[in-house]
């Protein structure tokens, strides 16, 4: 004898009641302060490939002299960037590979990005629900529907194939009833391939001393991997349209 279990619809998947107005005001204030400071002080200028290359020697020297401190700073800054949904994730990942190598750079990136995504997830779930629904309401439907079917596999797909912006997935996930452990596991696993590709590319770009080095096999492989990664969403849409 079997028992049928009804799947919750998208409304039932929405998170429970939001927290107090005081808590909302505090978090929204911190969010606005962080974003405002980022743009007021034009910090984006430091999150560019040109800035990374211009400070190549000093960054490498500092990392070699203060390795543990450099790792902690990298993870902390990357975590804050992700938590506040600021620009610069790709540059941070490139810098991770540049400074720590392909594999350790991927590991530190994974810790930082997953931690930051989790903070954004919790903020959306308990404090920013109304703001997220008002700001991105017209884009929530497809994501909510996917979560209602199979949260873990759907979230893995969103991480492996970036159909929606990383920050938006973090926020919208908090509006569903997906368990925190599921969100952390799927995010941590799903971002590994993309993180490695960017970390590997950053490691190779960090070895460039002249334009002639661009033609080296390692650098060409890095660019090839980046190009392939950019094609993944296109291939996914084509496969999905054929199987629909």
Q: What is the pLDDT of residues 100-158, one digit of tens each?
A: 999 999 999 999 999 999 999 998 888 777 777 777 666 667 777 777 777 888 888 88
Domain boundaries, the chain: 21-243
* Average pLDDT rounded to a whole number, residues 199-209: 76
pLDDT digits (tens, 9 = 90+) for 162-203: 777 899 899 888 888 788 999 999 999 989 988 998 888 888
Q: Which residue has the higher pLDDT, 84 or 49?
A: 84
pLDDT band at 37 (very low <50, low <70, confident <90, very high): confident
Q: Which residue has the higher pLDDT, 126 or 8?
A: 126
Per cent of the chain over pLDDT 70 is 71
Task: Supply the pLDDT for residue 25.
Answer: 75
Task: Supply the pLDDT for residue 211.
Answer: 42
14, containing H or E segment: none
* Average pLDDT rounded to a whole number, residues 90-94: 91
Task: Supply the pLDDT for residue 19.
Answer: 52
């Amino acid at each position: 004898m079997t028992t049928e279990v009804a799947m919750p619809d998208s409304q039932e998947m929405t998170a429970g009641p939001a927290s107090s107005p005081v808590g909302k005001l505090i978090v929204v204030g911190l969010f606005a302060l962080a974003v405002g400071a980022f743009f007021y002080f034009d910090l984006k200028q430091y999150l560019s490939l040109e800035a990374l290359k211009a400070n190549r020697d000093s960054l490498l020297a500092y990392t070699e002299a203060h390795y543990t401190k450099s790792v902690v700073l990298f993870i902390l800054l990357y975590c804050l960037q992700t938590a506040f949904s600021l620009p610069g994730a790709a540059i941070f990942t490139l810098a991770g590979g540049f400074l720590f190598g392909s594999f350790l750079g991927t590991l530190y990136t994974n810790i930082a990005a997953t931690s930051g995504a989790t903070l954004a997830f919790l903020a959306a779930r308990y404090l920013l629900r109304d703001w997220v629904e008002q700001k991105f309401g017209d884009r929530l439907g497809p994501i909510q529907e996917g979560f209602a079917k199979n949260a873990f596999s759907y979230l893995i797909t969103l991480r492996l194939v970036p159909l929606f912006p990383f920050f938006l997935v973090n926020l919208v996930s908090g509006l569903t009833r997906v368990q925190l452990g599921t969100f952390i596991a799927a995010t941590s696993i799903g971002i590994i391939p993309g993180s490695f590709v960017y970390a590997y590319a950053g490691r190779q770009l960090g070895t460039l001393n002249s334009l002639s080095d661009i033609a080296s096999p390692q650098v060409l492989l890095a660019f090839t991997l980046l190009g392939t990664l950019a094609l993944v969403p296109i291939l996914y849409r084509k496969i999905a349209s054929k199987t629909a």
